Structure 1
Amino acid sequence: MEKNKRVFVFDDNAEILELCTIILEDAGYDIRTSSTSNDIIGQVQAYVPDIIFMDNWLPDVGGVDATRALKAHETLKSIPVIYFSANNDVKTLAAEAGADGYLSKPFDIQELEDVIRKHLAI
C-alpha cells in the first residue's frame, strides 16, 4: 500500500485545526497542524507535505506572506498551497499570495476532500 498523502494545515483557530485533523485522518491522510507561520520554511521542510492549507489570519507572518515565502523557495514551491479563509475576498487574497487554489470557510467535508483530490490528482 502506498504511503498516506501528507497534509499540513496552518490556522490560528484550534477548533478548525481539530476539525481538519479529524476529517483528514478519517479520510486516510497524515496531517500536521500549526497555529503559527513562524519559520514557515523550516516547518514545511521538517514535514514535506503533499499539500498545504494556509489560513489568512496567522500570528506574526500573515498567510499571504507565508505563501509567498513558500512559492519563492526552490524546493518547496511545487507543493500546492490552498488558501482558506472566511474572508469575503479569499479568491483575491489567494491570487495575491500566489496560492494554487482556495477554499472558503465555513466549508463542508466534501469540499475539503474535493480540493485535496483535485490538487493531488487522486
Structure 2
Amino acid sequence: MTGRKKKIILAEDNLAIVDALTIMLEEFGYEIISIVDGNTAKDKLKEKPDLILLDIWMPGWNGKDACRYLKGNEDTRDIPVIIISADRDIAQLAKEAGADDFIAKPFQIEDLLAKVEKYLGKNEENSS
C-alpha cells in the first residue's frame, strides 16, 4: 500500500487552466481528477480525494456553495479545500465558504504547489 499517489480534485471551468495544472501536478506525482462544471462535483467526491482545488465561479454548483457543502458534510469536512479565484475579494469569499486556504489568479505555479504541499506534505515515499 506504500506509494499511493495523493488524489486531488481540480474543479475549474477554464480548460486551459485545467490542462496546465493537471500536467504540472501529475509531474509532481499527484493523481488529478478534473471537474469542469459544478454539476458533476458531488459524483466525483466519491473518489475520496486528499485535497480539493476549487474555482469559486463555476457553472452549475458554484465553488462557494460546494465548499460549504463539503465542510458541512461529515464524510468530507476534513478534506482540505483551496479556493482559486480572480475575484478581488477572494480572501473574504474563501472565509465565508469555510475553505482551508485560497490562491488568487493569476498565480505562480510555485505558489500553488507550496499550498498543495502545505496540506498534503511532499508527495514522496518517505518512511519516517
Per the shorter chain, which TM-score range? over 0.9
| CA distance in 2: counterparts of 1:96 and 1:26, whole angstroms | 32
Task: Tell me the number of residue pairs that the alignment of Structure 1 and Structure 2 aligns.
Answer: 121
Alpha carbons 1:54, 1:82 under 8 Å: kept: yes
Segment of structure 1 superposing worse, 30-39 or 84-93? 30-39
Stretches of 4+ aligned residues off by more than 3 angstroms: none
Contact kept, 8 Å, 1:41 with 1:69, in 2: the verdict is no
TM-score (normalised: structure 1): 0.94
> What letter corresponds to residue 113 of structure 1 in structure 2?
L
Match of 1:113 in 2: 113
Distance across 1 between alignment mates of 2:48 and 2:37:
17
Matches within 5 A, 1:40-79: 40-45=41-46, 47-79=47-79
1:44-92 CA distance string (max 9 Å, x none)? 11x1110000101110111100111111111111000000001111111
Rg larger in structure: 2
Q: CA offset at residue 41 of structure 1?
A: 2.7
2:97 paired with 1:97: yes
Q: What TM-score does the superposition give when structure 2 sets the normalisation length?
A: 0.89
Matched residue of 1:23: which SS?
A: helix
Note if contact 1:36-1:59 (Cα within 8 Å) is conserved in structure 2.
Answer: yes
SS at match of 1:92: helix
1:40 positional shift: 2.8
Is 1:6 aligned to 2:2, yes or no? Answer: no
**CA–CA separation in structure 2 for the residues paired with 1:7 and 1:19:** 14
Map 1:10-25 → 2, pairs under 5 A: 10-25=11-26
CA RMSD of aligned residues (A): 1.1
The residue type paired with residue 30 of structure 1 is E
Q: 1:77 to 1:114 in 2, by over 3 A?
A: same
1:39 CA drift (Å)? 4.7
The separation in 2 between residues aligned to 1:30 and 1:39, in whole angstroms, is 18
Q: What do residues 76-115 of structure 1 show as CA deviations (whole Å, max 9, x unaligned)?
A: 1100000000111111110010000001111111111100
Give the superposition deviation at 1:121. 3.4
Where structure 1 has 5 or more consecutive residues not aligned to the other structure, the ranges are none
